[in-house]
Amino acid sequence: MSGQLFNMVAKRVLKDTAKKNINSKDPYFEEVAVYGRDGRPTGRVKKQKKGIPRILSQHDGKVLKKVRRQAYRLDMSLFNCCGIRFGWSSVIGIIPIVGDVIDLLLAYRVVLSCCHIDGGLPESLKYRMFFNIMLDFGIGLVPFVGDVADAIYRANTRNAWLLEEYLIKKAEAEQQLREEKERANNRTHGQRPPLARGEGPGANGEPVPKKSFWSSWSRGRDSSQHGQETGIVDVEQGTWRPPQYSEHGAAHAGRA
């Protein structure tokens, strides 16, 4: 079982390496173009610390920033030789055996920092990170050539990029889930509950059909004509006045 798991993780790591060279990217700094006062690019670039993706939570952002800094110090912080960046990991690894063990412990410390994110690391991602540092440890055991290969492989930088990709995917999934819940709540509060049987304005709790404008208008006109033809009853005097007709034939109440 452990052998199958190791093979699966190894294939996944090799697939990531073939897909994109994540160990060549600086995990802590980025290069940005420099613009002049007229707003046009000058052709120069400057290095600045990478920003934390806004979609991440405050705690996960702090963990990612710490892991980036640790990976940069171990893999790229010291000097550049023949296009290869060297950090403390390569320098410590020059010491036979002891230096490689110390390098392994420092890389393990980076993985432990990754585990402090909200919810912890999934087991599959944790195994991939462990595979990276163990492969880096095995390469570093070869004298001198192993140290150069160690500087090229950069296990800590790989793990920092794996953590960043996982955090972004997790934050996007959580945001999508929150949006779906909000839409569901809006639909729930926006609908009226169905009427119970016998509670509605209809006879059996059924809604009364809507009345058209013409039916209401004709009914109001009929009642008006009926009142004009029957005259007006004076309640206070107890008398009835017959309707009087004008020259146009329209009925109106007589004056007392």
Interval 227-253: pLDDT, tens: 444 444 454 555 555 555 455 544 444
Asked, for residue 206, whether it belongs to a domain, the answer is no
The answer to whether residue 236 sits within a structural domain is: no
Would residue 72 count as lying in a domain? yes
For residue 4, what pLDDT is reported? Answer: 55
pLDDT of 71 strictly over 60: yes
Among the listed ranges 75-89, 106-120, 175-189, 221-235, which one has the minimum average pLDDT value? Answer: 221-235
According to DSSP, residue 50 is labeled P
pLDDT of 147 reads 79
In a domain, 6, yes or no: yes
Domain, as residue range, for 120: 2-185
Question: pLDDT category, 102, cuts 50, 70, 90?
Answer: very high
Average pLDDT, the chain: 75
Q: Where are the alpha helices (DSSP H) in 95-231?
A: 98-114, 123-140, 145-153, 155-190, 213-230
Say if 210 falls within a structural domain.
no
Within a domain: 201: no
pLDDT of residue 253: 45
By percentage, how much of the chain surpasses pLDDT 70?
64
Q: Is 245 inside a domain boundary?
A: no
97 vs 64, higher pLDDT: 64
Tokens of 167: 């955090």
23 has a pLDDT exceeding 60: yes
In the numeric block, which tokens belong to residue 13? 């790591």
The β-bridge partners of 234 are: 239
Give the total number of structural domains in the chain.
1
Residue pair 81/68 in contact by the 8 Å Cβ criterion: no
230 is a domain residue? no
3-state secondary structure of 98: helix
Share of the chain above pLDDT 90, in %: 31
Distance of CA 199 to the CA centre of its chain: 45
For residues 23 and 154, is the Cβ–Cβ distance under 8 A? yes
